[in-house]
Structure 1
């Protein structure tokens, strides 16, 4: 159950089947990202892939008949036509074609007719049609999946293909459960099931449950059941970088930050390619600060040692260790750049104060005291308007039906600061109590909230430990699954013929329509460390900004039924 390993095996297969010798690889926009998130360019060079080209970037007249061409593309209509044009006038000597998902026979026949020079040596399907973010986390990079709270057709089609590819690459034929009452969840479950039935030969894996074990589970969830998790500031390394700097396809763009060295304006953050990041992506802000401090001290010690090159033996030792020394130098510099910016933003935006209040609203029911604190903090010019809006959004979600709920007056304060007040009523329409299956705020362990503390990490001035008492709904749900609890009322099965098993599943793939988060990935990581087997995926991986944009897109053009009392406080230019 390792997604990065699954993608790597497919790419290794492509490189090996094309035989020895120099190769080029022809990609589309999405498969370029799929490859780059699993392999570095130097990794591909070691596999004799020396040239990377895009199928959709226009053709050159140069012929390179001495090169073999690996074609790795998604089986879209546009790609089929572009590949057909390539085969009619082949640029390379031989083509080894791999589609990232199931391709219709009619398209294969069409391509065969276009291959008049008979330059195609292989045509195969490899089910690498998703972006492997972490070994247990995947994304489909669909930033907006709904309009008027219904599936966008293209997003639905892409999601079906992506989830099928994950199941095929992991060799799973699962029980499919979906969130009861969610039309989008049920629609996705039905379409995935229909495709599995249609392609039954592909899903004819050995059924371990016939020997007494429960079949694997595909659990389809709706982001609207837990709108709180994407709104909270994150404090583990990977999640914090995404929240404050934005991770896109395992890359962080620092080009707009003054003083960043040229070589560090775009950084790759891949646990598979960066050992330090892989070991520390789930560490909290204080821990990562201490770890980088120790790494820097070790680097300084080794740098000092390297200055003492006085003999032939010293020179030989330096040359032998130089690659590791250079790699360590780059690692230290890269993570210092990131941590320096995270620290600066944390101070500039008063995020310890903001996050403490966010966590208390999410985890503790004290309406009157919290209302007063929110009023004070959102009126403070030192607090960014965006952070203020998220506080009001959390308050509105928690106290939507409280007798003294005063969201409207908070929106008035946001309005005077020029904030986008429409976000809050849109969020209530998207994921208010009328939409949620259960009450997420009742899950909180009050004793945990009382233990809220700030622990200074000794030896690293100004870095504090984090507020992590919030538990995402996903963790509670998965704990219920692994306890073998009855799931039918809340998560009915679309293929009930596989369900007469009382034992809990051993393998679970969770897919969240509307996007997953790195906080939920942390919960899955913790469960996997405890011996479970869970893969998490989503239409995208959200930070608070992308989640708010998804909410606004999903509710655009709707007539709001549940937030009428708020609307009169919102000016038309903001709404």
Structure 2
């Protein structure tokens, strides 16, 4: 059975849009969000090869009449977009319009568009469910940087956008026999699960019925507050390191702050679909990346040496034929050498190896006095950044929240005296405890006495830890392992409705599904994390999929430490 692939799901819809428009000259009209959705999975050069010659935002003004072009409009079904489209149809710039909405469109909106189409320019109005960012084949995001409203509740507009995005994802993957489970300790998770359930029930006619299909998809809705540890950690695999230390936004990396950077490298694209080195090394650890970048350089130098030997007409012909690939390889080498060099510089400059080792020991070991002394020592190391001291204080606060000899206040005072932490950073520590402390969690993140953790520690004791910087395992991995074995407790992660679950392919499927308490081993799992995911979690899901699981991981945003601070503070009272 093929792996689930959100990139292919979105590419399928874009191909369909272009193929359905049979005209030779086409323009692609997008809004701000759909422009990001398409740019994540298609390079502009690919679209040009498909005879798409114009790319325009629907809210742009002053465009001259282009009656010779057909417009493929791919937009979200928002009120603002509909109003703009109505104005466009009253005075059309293009010869014809093929309109595709990224999500469900109301019947009255279609009537409004029909009334506005006075010149009979509209050829197609259709729903194509691509209302999310496809980041990796198994990773998606709704690109919502801050989900939490005041007191960590839903904002109505964010809830509506989340429901739309998650329903769109489910439909784009053509998932069947949907069972929705949610984290019971989170009111936000239950609200979202209920809304997804009711929305799916009203929209099931939009997928063809197939009553003989017994495969089951579990949609697991969890809250970032259950595991506030993972976004606090420094990272040591390629994609995760780039995001943590530099930042990745819609596959773009801003290198303008790198010392001595060339103009053409100030912003680069990091897309595994079009970059073989990046695809191969996405989950490579920092040590392996250095070795692999050296091999890439040597390969390039060898090809460059061969390109220099133009001694015959045949050599020249070969050079012309291979030049595009050579030029692409040259760009790839320049980009990755620059990025890896910058990562290496930052690791040394900020003493990140030692910082990360203490982070890992703090989370995975239990020597309290030793940890306190190491944190104090790093406070006096001028190479260590304030934000890394803050990470350690946050991890300490969560780990030893109710320990009798807790020294958090003393550590905060020493950090403030030594470091002059910003007011925002000081406020973040109590906000984090309110966000993801023991009062909220239904899981003991540091419990070393569960059967699973005892087994894991026993195995580690036998063979040793391969990498001291990778001891921490995100909570989501344990949850998914339990779910795959049919062991995830429904007292903590209940079904929305055991009596009336949903099969998008069969409106009468309620009595086919298991009641609460019965073991369900899913054929595929879709995870949605309220409050965002991390690339560390992506790595673990990737490894599980390599072993035969079929899991899609996503959430409101892909966080690094900086964006996670903003997420937590947005919901603080």
TM-score, normalization: structure 1?
Answer: 0.92
Choose which of 108, 111, 116 in structure 2 pairs with 1:109.
111
2:504 is the counterpart of 1:499 = no
Secondary structure of 1:267's counterpart equals strand
Contact 2:131–2:165, Cα closer than 8 Å, also in 1: yes
Measured at CA, do residues 73 and 536 of structure 1 come closer, stay the same or move farther in structure 2, by a change above 3 Å?
A: same
> Which digits, 9 at most, give the CA deviation of each residue in 1:278-321, with x for residues without a partner?
11101111111111100101111111122121122222222222
| Structure 1 position 47, deviation (Å) | 1.0
Choose which of 162, 175, 184 in structure 2 pairs with 1:180.
184
| Structure 1 position 434, deviation (Å) | 0.6
Secondary structure of 1:318's counterpart equals helix
> Which digits, 9 at most, give the CA deviation of each residue in 1:105-164, with x for residues without a partner?
111101111110110000000000000000100001111111211012211111100000
Measured at CA, do residues 249 and 466 of structure 1 come closer, stay the same or move farther in structure 2, by a change above 3 Å?
A: farther
Contact 2:23–2:70, Cα closer than 8 Å, also in 1: no
Kindly report which structure 2 residues correspond to 1:17-36, keeping only aligned pairs within 5 A, or say none: 17-36=20-39
Q: Which residue of 2 aligns with 1:259?
A: 260
Contact 2:360–2:468, Cα closer than 8 Å, also in 1: no
| Structure 1 position 22, deviation (Å) | 0.9
Q: Which residue of 1 aligns with 2:336?
A: 335
Kindly report which structure 2 residues correspond to 1:396-407, keeping only aligned pairs within 5 A, or say none: 396-407=397-408
Secondary structure of 1:121's counterpart equals strand
| Structure 1 position 475, deviation (Å) | 0.5
Contact 2:185–2:441, Cα closer than 8 Å, also in 1: no
Residues of 1 paired with 2:362 and 2:272: CA distance?
33
Choose which of 121, 129, 137 in structure 2 pairs with 1:135.
137
Residues of 2 paired with 1:389 and 1:538: CA distance?
25
2:565 is the counterpart of 1:545 = no
TM-score, normalization: structure 2?
Answer: 0.92
Q: Which residue of 1 aligns with 2:164?
A: 161
Secondary structure of 1:24's counterpart equals strand
Contact 1:285–1:466, Cα closer than 8 Å, also in 2: no
Residues of 1 paired with 2:335 and 2:485: CA distance?
42
Q: Point out where structure 1 has 5 or more consecutive residues left out of the alignment.
A: 456-464, 559-575
> Which digits, 9 at most, give the CA deviation of each residue in 1:519-566, with x for residues without a partner?
0111110011000100001000000111111111111xx2xxxxxxxx
Q: Which residue of 1 aligns with 2:529?
A: 512
Q: Which residue of 2 aligns with 1:481?
A: 483
Contact 1:379–1:413, Cα closer than 8 Å, also in 2: no
Kindly report which structure 2 residues correspond to 1:83-94, keeping only aligned pairs within 5 A, or say none: 83-94=85-96
Residues of 2 paired with 1:299 and 1:133: CA distance?
28
| Structure 1 position 207, deviation (Å) | 4.9
Secondary structure of 2:92's counterpart equals coil
Secondary structure of 2:552's counterpart equals strand
Q: Which residue of 1 aligns with 2:539?
A: 522
Residues of 2 paired with 1:79 and 1:486: CA distance?
42
| Structure 1 position 189, deviation (Å) | 0.1
Q: Which moved more, 1:308-317 or 1:93-102?
A: 308-317
Choose which of 58, 74, 77 in structure 2 pairs with 1:75.
77
Q: Which moved more, 1:309-318 or 1:332-341?
A: 309-318
2:378 is the counterpart of 1:373 = no
Residues of 2 paired with 1:43 and 1:413: CA distance?
56
Residues of 2 paired with 1:271 and 1:36: CA distance?
13
Residues of 1 paired with 2:354 and 2:461: CA distance?
16
| Structure 1 position 447, deviation (Å) | 5.7
Contact 1:453–1:467, Cα closer than 8 Å, also in 2: no
Q: Point out where structure 2 has 5 or more consecutive residues left out of the alignment.
A: 500-512
Measured at CA, do residues 291 and 479 of structure 1 come closer, stay the same or move farther in structure 2, by a change above 3 Å?
A: same
Q: Which residue of 1 aligns with 2:440?
A: 435
Choose which of 34, 39, 42 in structure 1 pairs with 2:42.
39
Residues of 2 paired with 1:245 and 1:348: CA distance?
14
Residues of 2 paired with 1:153 and 1:403: CA distance?
41
